[in-house]
Amino acid sequence: MRIETLNHVQLAMPAGEEDAARQFYAGLLDIPEVEKPPQLAKRGGCWFERDDLKVHLGIDQNFRPAKKAHPAFIVRDLPVLIERLEVAGFPTLNDEPLSGYKRCYVADPFGNRIELMEPI
Protein backbone atom coordinates (compact mmCIF):
# COMPACT_ATOMS: atom_id res chain seq x y z
CA MET A 1 0.00 0.00 0.00
CA ARG A 2 1.24 3.46 -0.86
CA ILE A 3 -0.18 6.85 -1.71
CA GLU A 4 0.25 7.42 -5.44
CA THR A 5 -0.44 11.11 -6.06
CA LEU A 6 -2.30 14.19 -4.90
CA ASN A 7 -5.74 14.63 -6.48
CA HIS A 8 -6.55 18.20 -5.44
CA VAL A 9 -5.96 20.92 -2.87
CA GLN A 10 -8.95 22.22 -0.91
CA LEU A 11 -8.82 25.76 0.45
CA ALA A 12 -11.49 27.51 2.47
CA MET A 13 -13.19 30.77 1.68
CA PRO A 14 -15.99 32.88 3.16
CA ALA A 15 -19.54 32.52 1.83
CA GLY A 16 -20.56 34.66 -1.12
CA GLU A 17 -17.04 35.44 -2.35
CA GLU A 18 -16.99 33.23 -5.46
CA ASP A 19 -16.44 36.21 -7.79
CA ALA A 20 -13.30 37.21 -5.88
CA ALA A 21 -12.08 33.61 -6.13
CA ARG A 22 -12.72 33.60 -9.88
CA GLN A 23 -10.86 36.88 -10.40
CA PHE A 24 -7.83 35.58 -8.49
CA TYR A 25 -7.55 31.91 -9.43
CA ALA A 26 -8.90 32.03 -13.00
CA GLY A 27 -8.11 35.66 -13.84
CA LEU A 28 -4.68 36.16 -12.27
CA LEU A 29 -3.32 32.64 -11.79
CA ASP A 30 -4.85 31.41 -15.08
CA ILE A 31 -6.36 28.22 -13.65
CA PRO A 32 -9.71 27.77 -15.45
CA GLU A 33 -12.88 27.31 -13.45
CA VAL A 34 -14.69 24.00 -13.91
CA GLU A 35 -18.26 23.22 -13.00
CA LYS A 36 -18.72 21.57 -9.63
CA PRO A 37 -20.80 18.38 -9.52
CA PRO A 38 -24.48 19.29 -8.94
CA GLN A 39 -24.62 17.69 -5.49
CA LEU A 40 -21.67 19.86 -4.38
CA ALA A 41 -22.54 23.06 -6.28
CA LYS A 42 -25.38 23.82 -3.87
CA ARG A 43 -22.79 24.22 -1.08
CA GLY A 44 -21.16 27.19 -2.84
CA GLY A 45 -17.48 27.67 -3.52
CA CYS A 46 -15.77 26.96 -6.83
CA TRP A 47 -13.27 24.64 -8.45
CA PHE A 48 -10.32 25.54 -10.67
CA GLU A 49 -8.56 22.87 -12.72
CA ARG A 50 -6.09 22.45 -15.56
CA ASP A 51 -4.77 18.99 -16.30
CA ASP A 52 -3.38 17.63 -13.00
CA LEU A 53 -3.59 21.00 -11.22
CA LYS A 54 -6.78 21.07 -9.14
CA VAL A 55 -7.61 23.78 -6.60
CA HIS A 56 -11.01 23.57 -4.92
CA LEU A 57 -12.38 26.38 -2.76
CA GLY A 58 -15.11 25.47 -0.31
CA ILE A 59 -17.25 27.61 1.92
CA ASP A 60 -16.39 27.62 5.61
CA GLN A 61 -19.00 29.37 7.76
CA ASN A 62 -16.35 29.95 10.45
CA PHE A 63 -13.70 30.94 7.91
CA ARG A 64 -10.18 31.80 9.01
CA PRO A 65 -7.43 32.12 6.41
CA ALA A 66 -4.60 29.60 6.30
CA LYS A 67 -1.60 31.77 7.18
CA LYS A 68 1.00 28.97 7.44
CA ALA A 69 -0.39 25.88 5.68
CA HIS A 70 -0.37 26.48 1.92
CA PRO A 71 -0.21 24.99 -1.55
CA ALA A 72 2.97 25.62 -3.54
CA PHE A 73 2.47 26.09 -7.27
CA ILE A 74 5.23 25.59 -9.84
CA VAL A 75 5.04 28.53 -12.26
CA ARG A 76 6.63 29.68 -15.48
CA ASP A 77 7.97 33.25 -15.69
CA LEU A 78 7.63 34.14 -12.01
CA PRO A 79 8.61 37.83 -12.48
CA VAL A 80 5.70 38.35 -14.90
CA LEU A 81 3.26 36.69 -12.49
CA ILE A 82 4.58 38.78 -9.60
CA GLU A 83 4.02 41.96 -11.61
CA ARG A 84 0.49 40.83 -12.60
CA LEU A 85 -0.40 40.11 -8.98
CA GLU A 86 1.03 43.35 -7.63
CA VAL A 87 -0.67 45.50 -10.29
CA ALA A 88 -3.95 43.81 -9.28
CA GLY A 89 -3.34 44.76 -5.63
CA PHE A 90 -1.92 41.47 -4.32
CA PRO A 91 1.53 42.18 -2.82
CA THR A 92 4.07 39.39 -2.95
CA LEU A 93 6.79 38.52 -0.48
CA ASN A 94 10.02 37.16 -1.94
CA ASP A 95 11.80 34.37 -0.12
CA GLU A 96 15.30 33.05 -0.58
CA PRO A 97 15.78 30.36 -3.25
CA LEU A 98 15.42 26.82 -1.95
CA SER A 99 16.16 23.43 -3.54
CA GLY A 100 16.66 24.94 -6.98
CA TYR A 101 13.60 27.23 -6.99
CA LYS A 102 13.00 30.98 -6.89
CA ARG A 103 10.09 31.52 -4.50
CA CYS A 104 7.60 34.05 -3.28
CA TYR A 105 4.33 34.14 -1.36
CA VAL A 106 1.04 35.88 -2.02
CA ALA A 107 -2.24 35.86 -0.13
CA ASP A 108 -5.39 35.06 -2.07
CA PRO A 109 -8.37 37.45 -1.68
CA PHE A 110 -9.28 35.69 1.58
CA GLY A 111 -5.83 35.74 3.18
CA ASN A 112 -4.86 32.12 2.39
CA ARG A 113 -1.12 31.79 1.86
CA ILE A 114 0.00 30.68 -1.63
CA GLU A 115 3.61 29.84 -2.52
CA LEU A 116 4.79 30.40 -6.09
CA MET A 117 7.94 28.55 -7.22
CA GLU A 118 9.95 28.61 -10.43
CA PRO A 119 12.92 26.35 -11.18
CA ILE A 120 16.20 28.25 -11.32
Q: What is the pLDDT of residues 68-106, one digit of tens each?
A: 999 999 999 999 999 999 999 999 999 999 999 999 999
User: What is the 3 state secondary structure string of the chain?
Assistant: CCCCCCCCEEEEECCCCHHHHHHHHHHHCCCCEECCCHHHHCCCCEEEEECCEEEEEEECCCCCCCCCCCCEEECCCHHHHHHHHHHCCCCEEEEEEECCEEEEEEECCCCCEEEEEEEC
Q: pTM of the predicted model, to two decimals?
A: 0.94
pLDDT bucket at 64, cuts 50 / 70 / 90: very high
pLDDT value, residue 53: 97
pLDDT value, residue 62: 96
pLDDT value, residue 52: 95
CATH of 9-119, one of 3.20.20.70, 3.30.70.100, 3.40.50.720, 3.10.180.10: 3.10.180.10
Q: What is the pLDDT of residues 16-50, one digit of tens each?
A: 999 999 999 999 999 999 999 999 999 999 999 99
